[in-house]
């Protein structure tokens, strides 16, 4: 086997998988491609599937792709982590920036083995929290984390930079004549139609940077020590048949493979391999100058290999670690559930249309951000602690930034877990997500006695949930004036938020949407 050739193949497949991941994210916009699979990436996580099923108290068939990956892992090992995972590809690139390869990895090997147990503890905490009804898996799952980070941070940043560069270039006649066709193509195929931004994106960015910076300690620190999906796949890979096999007669114990291994999956003498940690990255093949290493099915190579292919390192966790996870989960339950700030103003968090009741919604939402990316008005944004720690990174509508388009149901189409019920456009047009409330102290007609009918004009409901009543009012100078005063019909309002978005009052709008119904005027 030509090891450089096969390691290049793996890198090419990993790159192609990452490009496909990016292409799916870019395609998650209006109009969605027919038969698109925008939600497939989060559904590939069995960790999310188990956690969501636990918290929802039902088996979610949407995560069948994750189950298929687990079965494939039981046969071929953790190929998904080394070949297909988008976060793994991102970490491999960031590892080169931190360049931990210059470190003496032999000194770090023993420390790495002791740290590997924490991913099992983290997985146990996540699943035990899910059993108590708390869906925290979406915050830390690698596929949800990667999708959310690319959607709310990396894509908007790239979109802004590319548009800025081409806009500046277009200001120069000669350069603009060359760049304009390219810019037009990018706007039609890759860039967003409008400027895209997300509230709380800095928290997502900091979380993502912290994850990448862990590579300064060792290569793929997240994958080795913290990834809960990796922990589940590691347990499945213990029975895998496709493994690294060492011919002990050819092996000189030079330990080059130990230094090259990005997962510290090779034992100290270079002949043993931990199948629960090996991600078949094939770097050890490149490092071996004596042809002592090969990858294959155990039965096919057992006779040719001088060593025992089942010689491996046991996974580094114990019953004590499981107990530690249980105690941690028990401690975190009240930390997630008790949130005074959210209870004080829970009406400010407006969920997307089709959202299940709040407790069920929080149990099913996997925090992937797909609904935020597809929203044509850029109205959906990740929460931080506005809906409590339990609701971190779940979607909320911020009407001042973007309203809920009346004839749009895209967010429901891309939701991978069923947290947003699928509604047809006619159903969605009457789905209530909130109620508009007028603050008279800010409203131009009520406070300044001047006509302003913007909210009534833009109201999209068929029966007009915002109406005007003409009254004669004594203005500040003491003269009687006729003013059209807006008021809200709560029974008709669906809370789409376009009135708040278009309100001409600077700063806080004079009409705002709340999730629970309150008196129409205050």
Tens-place pLDDT, residues 178-229: 999 999 999 988 998 888 899 999 999 999 999 999 888 888 999 999 999 9
For position 394, what pLDDT does the model report? 95
Tens-place pLDDT, residues 235-266: 999 889 899 999 888 998 998 898 888 898 88
- Radius of gyration, CA atoms only, the chain: 28
SS (H, E, C) 142-172: HHHHHHHHHHHHHHHHHHHHHHHHHHHHHCC
Task: Indicate whether 100 pLDDT > 60.
Answer: no
Q: What is the pTM of this model?
A: 0.89
Cα 91 to Cα 145: distance, rounded to the nearest angstrom = 13
For position 450, what pLDDT does the model report? 92
For position 20, what pLDDT does the model report? 95
Tell whether 467 is covered by a domain. Answer: yes
pLDDT band at 1 (very low <50, low <70, confident <90, very high): very low
Domain tally, the chain: 1
Range 253-257, long-range pairs (CB < 8 A, 24+ positions): 254/289, 254/290, 255/106, 256/287, 256/288, 256/289, 257/283, 257/284, 257/287, 257/288, 257/293
Tens-place pLDDT, residues 54-68: 998 999 999 999 999
For position 155, what pLDDT does the model report? 96
Tell whether 416 is covered by a domain. Answer: no
Tens-place pLDDT, residues 78-95: 999 999 999 999 999 988
| Between 483 and 38, the higher pLDDT residue | 483
For position 315, what pLDDT does the model report? 52
pLDDT band at 522 (very low <50, low <70, confident <90, very high): very low
Task: Indicate whether 108 pLDDT > 60.
Answer: no
SS (H, E, C) 114-146: HHCHHHHHHHHHHHHHHHCCCCCHHHHCHHHHH
Mean pLDDT of the chain, nearest integer: 87
For position 90, what pLDDT does the model report? 95
Tell whether 510 is covered by a domain. Answer: yes
For position 111, what pLDDT does the model report? 60
Are 12 and 282 in contact, with CB atoms under 8 Å apart?
A: no
Tell whether 494 is covered by a domain. Answer: yes
Tell whether 492 is covered by a domain. Answer: yes
- Domain range for 452: 433-522
Tens-place pLDDT, residues 197-210: 999 999 999 999 99
Task: Indicate whether 517 pLDDT > 80.
Answer: no
For position 311, what pLDDT does the model report? 47
Tell whether 207 is covered by a domain. Answer: no
Are 486 and 438 in contact, with CB atoms under 8 Å apart?
A: yes
Tell whether 225 is covered by a domain. Answer: no
CA angle 135, 139, 140 (to 5 degrees): 110
Task: Indicate which CATH number applies to the domain containing 470.
Answer: 3.30.70.20
- Token pair of 34, please? 């027919």
Tell whether 34 is covered by a domain. Answer: no
For position 521, what pLDDT does the model report? 37
Cα 420 to Cα 403: distance, rounded to the nearest angstrom = 17
Cα 398 to Cα 412: distance, rounded to the nearest angstrom = 17
For position 301, what pLDDT does the model report? 43
Tens-place pLDDT, residues 434-491: 999 999 999 999 999 999 999 999 999 989 999 999 998 887 777 888 999 999 999 9
| Between 203 and 347, the higher pLDDT residue | 203
pLDDT band at 346 (very low <50, low <70, confident <90, very high): low
pLDDT band at 520 (very low <50, low <70, confident <90, very high): very low
Tens-place pLDDT, residues 276-329: 999 999 888 888 888 899 898 876 444 444 444 444 445 566 778 878 888 888
């Amino acid at each position: 086997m030509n090891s450089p050739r096969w390691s290049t193949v793996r890198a090419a497949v990993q790159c192609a998988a990452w490009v496909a991941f990016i292409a799916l994210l870019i395609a998650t916009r209006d109009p969605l491609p027919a038969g698109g699979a925008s939600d497939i990436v989060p559904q590939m996580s069995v960790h999310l599937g188990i956690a969501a099923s636990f918290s929802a108290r039902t088996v979610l068939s949407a995560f069948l792709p994750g189950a298929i990956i687990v079965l494939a892992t039981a046969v071929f090992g953790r190929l998904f982590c080394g070949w297909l995972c988008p976060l793994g590809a991102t970490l491999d690139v960031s590892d080169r920036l931190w360049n931990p390869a210059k470190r003496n990895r032999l000194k770090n090997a023993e420390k790495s083995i002791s740290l590997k147990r924490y991913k099992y503890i983290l997985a146990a905490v996540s699943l035990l929290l899910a059993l108590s009804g708390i869906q925290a898996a979406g915050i830390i799952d690698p596929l949800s984390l990667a999708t959310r980070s690319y959607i709310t941070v990396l894509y908007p940043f790239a979109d802004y930079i590319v548009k800025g560069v081409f806009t500046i270039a277009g200001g120069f006649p000669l350069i603009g004549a060359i760049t304009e066709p390219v810019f037009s193509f990018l706007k039609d195929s890759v860039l967003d139609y409008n400027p895209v931004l997300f509230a709380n994106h800095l928290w997502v960015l900091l979380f993502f940077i912290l994850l990448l910076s862990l590579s300064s300690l060792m290569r793929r620190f997240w994958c080795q020590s913290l990834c809960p999906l990796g922990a589940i796949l590691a347990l499945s890979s213990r029975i895998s048949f496709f493994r690294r096999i060492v011919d002990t007669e050819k092996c000189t114990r030079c330990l080059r493979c130990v230094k090259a291994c990005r997962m510290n999956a090779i034992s100290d003498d270079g002949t043993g391999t931990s199948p629960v940690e090996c991600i078949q990255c094939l770097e050890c093949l490149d490092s071996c100058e004596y042809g002592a290493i090969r990858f294959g099915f155990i039965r096919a190579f057992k006779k040719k290999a001088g060593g025992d292919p089942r010689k491996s390192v046991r996974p580094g966790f114990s019953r004590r670690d499981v107990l530690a996870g249980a105690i941690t989960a028990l401690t975190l339950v009240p930390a997630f559930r008790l949130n005074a700030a959210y209870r004080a103003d829970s009406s400010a968090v407006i969920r997307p249309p089709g959202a299940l009741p709040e407790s069920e919604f929080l149990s099913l939402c996997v925090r992937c951000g797909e609904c935020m990316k597809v929203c044509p008005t850029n109205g959906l944004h990740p929460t931080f602690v506005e809906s409590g720690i339990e609701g971190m990174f779940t979607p909320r509508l911020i009407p001042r930034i973007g309203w809920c388009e009346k004839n749009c149901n895209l967010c429901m189409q891309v939701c991978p877990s069923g947290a947003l019920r699928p509604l047809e456009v006619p159903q969605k047009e009457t789905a209530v997500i909130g109620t508009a409330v007028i603050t008279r102290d800010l409203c131009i007609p009520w406070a300044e006695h001047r006509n302003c009918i913007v909210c009534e004009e833009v109201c999209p409901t068929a029966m007009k949930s915002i109406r005007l009543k003409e009254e004669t009012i004594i203005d500040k100078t003491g003269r009687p004036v006729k003013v059209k005063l807006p008021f809200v019909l709560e029974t008709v309002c669906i809370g789409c938020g376009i009135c708040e978005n278009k309100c001409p009052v600077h700063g806080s709008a004079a009409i705002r949407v709340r999730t629970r119904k309150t008196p129409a005027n205050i």
